[in-house]
Amino acid sequence: MIFLPKSDKVVFYSILPLVIGVLGFFITVGFFMLHQALPSFMRFGVDLLVSSVWSPAEDPGREVYGLAAPFLGSLYVSALATLFALPLSVALTFSTTEILPRHVAGLLRNVVEVMGGLPTVVYGLWGSLVLSPYLRDSVMKPLHNYLGFLPIFSCRPITGYSVLTASIVLATATTPYVTALLIEGYGMIPAKYKEGILSLGATRYEVFKLLLGLLRPYVIASSLLGFSRALGETTIVALTIGNAVKPTLCIFDPTHTIPSLIASQFESARLYTYALPTLFAGGSLLLAVSLGVSYVGIKMIYTWRGRIHV
């Protein structure tokens, strides 16, 4: 910061207190969570992470909790959602930047933005009432019947509330965010690259493919940020995942994510001694993972941005 001109320094130092204030505030919230979670960490230790039970009792001595299922569920569902969202986002980016005529592209972009802003309650209700019965009858049952020998399709789809349903709805809701990031990154590639490629007589697809190659770190970073956002989504998942405390690999099984566990158990958590601290422990765990993933993602974006503008 020593090399900045004086007027810039004034700007920097006048806003800095605000930045530090907000930063401090969010760190306080983080500590608040950890503080609330402490009794649970002290009581259950490592068991909290490796076992999966949710067994409250009025007598604190008989309470047992383990977050393995919801924690793995969170990672699994968010990873699947990101996996589904990525091709959609890349396709939307290609369509709006290279293929479609300008006004159609603008329209599509608006539609995607509309989707990005829709309240998550709406997605959740749609997922549980419209999508899950449809998925159960037209997707899960055939897949289970023909490909049931694969572990991920091995369980019988009973209700439609499942890992698959939750990840698809989550992917739908995350796509606009990842798309926005990708379009932003795509726009950041200096024009000279595209001009260069075009002057060699490349087709549109080839241009996009080459530029996408250039964009690869950015794509990975956007996926990480999308993943991190999917991790914390509560409403959608709570309404579509089926809420069962059972670790599973099969995508037709119901399971839990940490936010859906919080949403389901919060109502009576305060009736018990360790239930609420355990929910907070889950929240802290989620925050830690989310912080880590976001950090890597953002770092990648910064590095890439520095490299591309040479």
Partner 1 sequence: MSRNLLARKLKNYLMTSLTLLTSALAVIPLASILHAAIVEGGRTLLEAGVNFLMELPPTPLSSSVGGVAPALLGSVLATSLAIIISGPVAFLTAFLVTEFPNSIFSKAFEVVVRSFSGIPSLIVSMFVYSVVVVRMGTQSLLAGSLSLAIVVLPYTYVYFTSAMRSVPETVREAAMSLGMSRFQALRHVYVGVSRKYILTGVLMSCVRAFGDTAPLLFTMGFLMNSVFAGLLQPSNSLPVLIFAYALSPYEVFHRVAWGATLLLIVIYLTLFSLTRGLLRGVRL
Partner 2 sequence: MSGDGGKSSKALTLVLLALVAASFSVAMYFQALNLMRTAGTSTTTSTASSVLTSTSPAATTRPWGSVTLSGAGASFLAPQMFEWSRALTETVGLRVEYQSVGSGAGRDMFFNKVVHFAGSDPPLSRELHEQYAGGVMQLPVVVGSVVIVYNIPEVPEGRSICLSSDVMALIYRGDIRYWDDQRILDVNPDLRGVLPHQEIVAVHRSDSSGTTSVFTAYLNKASPEVWSKGLVGFTVDWPVDAVGRGVGGKGNEGVTQVVKTTPYSLGYVELSYAITQRLPTAALRNAEGVCVKPTDQTVLNAVRNSTAFLPQSPLDDWSNVLPQMLNPPGRDSYPIVSFSYIFIYRTYPDRAVVEALREFIRWINTEGQERMVPGYLPITEEVRRVNLKAIELLEVGGT
Query: How far apart are alpha carbons 12 and 4 in whole angstroms?
Result: 10
Q: Is 188 in the site for partner 1 (CB under 8 A)?
A: yes
Torsions phi, psi for 64 (to 5 deg): -135, 130
Stretch of 16-24, 44-52, 136-144, 210-218 contacting partner 1, by CB under 8 A: 16-24
Site string for partner 1, 44-63 (x = CB under 8 A): --------------------
Closest approach of partner 1 to the CB of residue 220, in Å:
16
Q: Name the binder of 27 from partner 2, partner 1, none, CB < 5-8 A by kind.
A: partner 1
Q: Name the binder of 159 from partner 2, partner 1, none, CB < 5-8 A by kind.
A: partner 2
Closest approach of partner 2 to the CB of residue 304, in Å:
26
Q: Which of 62, 156, 204, 246 binds partner 1 (CB under 8 A)?
A: 204
Nearer CB in complex with partner 1: 126/193: 126
Q: Is 240 in the site for partner 1 (CB under 8 A)?
A: no
Q: Name the binder of 29 from partner 1, partner 2, none, CB < 5-8 A by kind.
A: partner 1
Query: How far apart are alpha carbons 92 and 114 in whole angstroms?
Result: 14
Nearer CB in complex with partner 2: 136/226: 136
Contact between residue 148 and residue 243 where contact means Cβ atoms under 8 Å apart: no
Nearer CB in complex with partner 1: 19/249: 19
Tell me whether residue 197 is exposed, middle or buried, using C-beta atoms within 10 angstroms of its C-beta: 0 to 12, 13 to 18, 19 or more: middle
Q: Which of 72, 155, 258, 281 binds partner 1 (CB under 8 A)?
A: 258
Size of the chain in residues: 310
Return the closest-CA partner of residue 177 out of 236, 223, 240, 235.
223
Q: Which of 67, 180, 250, 281 binds partner 1 (CB under 8 A)?
A: 180
Q: Is 29 in the site for partner 1 (CB under 8 A)?
A: yes
What DSSP line would sit under 219-283, residue for residue? HHHHHHHHHHHHHH--HHHHHHSB--------TTS-B--HHHHHHHHHHHHTTSSSHHHHHHHHH
Query: How far apart are alpha carbons 115 and 106 in whole angstroms?
Result: 14
* Assigned token pair, 119: 């309240």
Which residue ranges make up the site for partner 2 (CB under 8 A)?
A: 53-58, 62, 133, 155-156, 158-161, 238-239, 242-246, 254, 263-272
Kindly tell me the sign of the dihedral angle through the C-alpha atoms of 220, 221, 222, 223: positive
Closest approach of partner 1 to the CB of residue 151, in Å:
27
* Assigned token pair, 74: 């969170």
